[in-house]
Amino acid sequence: MKPEISIEIFNQSIKDYHVKDSVETAINNPFKAASIENLMYLKNWVDTVQWHYEDIIRDPNIDPVAGMELKRKIDKSNQHRTDLVEKIDDFYIDLFKNATSNSKALINTESPAWVIDRLSILCLKIYHMQEQVDRKDSSQSHKIQCEQKLAILKEQEIDLTNSFNQLLEDYSTGKKKIKVYRQMKMYNDDDLNPILYAKTK
């Protein structure tokens, strides 16, 4: 899937979330189950909810109990995000499984799905920076600073999109070979986190 299509899906997810703008809003994924479009929409929805979790938990007056509960939700969301990235990588691995790599083929520093992850977050940054530009209760200097940051974010989106398209082309022509290392996160694993496995003894 081309990054331009992914960006369209991400922006749709962000727009849909902000109809109610609540972390309690249930997802209503418009794409066919088990499709890559469905997976992309879900990925960004998780990112969007977590974006707002991160806002909420930074409230200096948050109740400590509520804050800890929210931290657990953020931990769970982070794991979900990683799991979705790996599923998206599976899509790209399958997409290029018949591509023949040449003898000098290189490996990219990050997998395709982690580029997708960066694009998803970038769409969120652009959306929320535009919100800051449009604020009616902020100073002119704040508006100017946010306009400058927004311009950089949009330039970054163009650059990342072009780079990802080039990466997909390199996979297709064999200039690069797709290789994925799973995250193997340890802190959520009952068998690998010493705090967790010690409690089972």
Which helix (H) or strand (E) is 70 found in, with range?
A: helix 64-95
Q: How many domains does the chain have?
A: 1
pLDDT number for residue 200: 63
The answer to whether residues 81 and 184 touch, using CB atoms and an 8 Å cutoff, is no
Higher pLDDT, 106 or 190: 106
Any domain includes 125: yes
Any domain includes 200: no
Question: Which residues 6+ apart lie within 8 Å of 172 measured at CB?
Answer: 96, 99
Any domain includes 197: no
> pLDDT averaged over the chain?
94
Q: Which pLDDT tens digit goes with each residue over 125-159?
A: 999 999 999 999 999 999 999 999 999 999 999 99
Any domain includes 73: yes
Any domain includes 142: yes
The answer to whether residues 181 and 89 touch, using CB atoms and an 8 Å cutoff, is no
pLDDT number for residue 181: 85
Any domain includes 98: yes
Question: Which residues 6+ apart lie within 8 Å of 109 measured at CB?
Answer: none
Any domain includes 116: yes
**What is the three-class DSSP state of 5?**
helix
pLDDT number for residue 201: 60
Q: In terms of residue numbers, what domain contains 34?
A: 3-192
Any domain includes 199: no
- CB-neighbour burial class of residue 193 (10 A; exposed 0-12, middle 13-18, buried 19+): middle
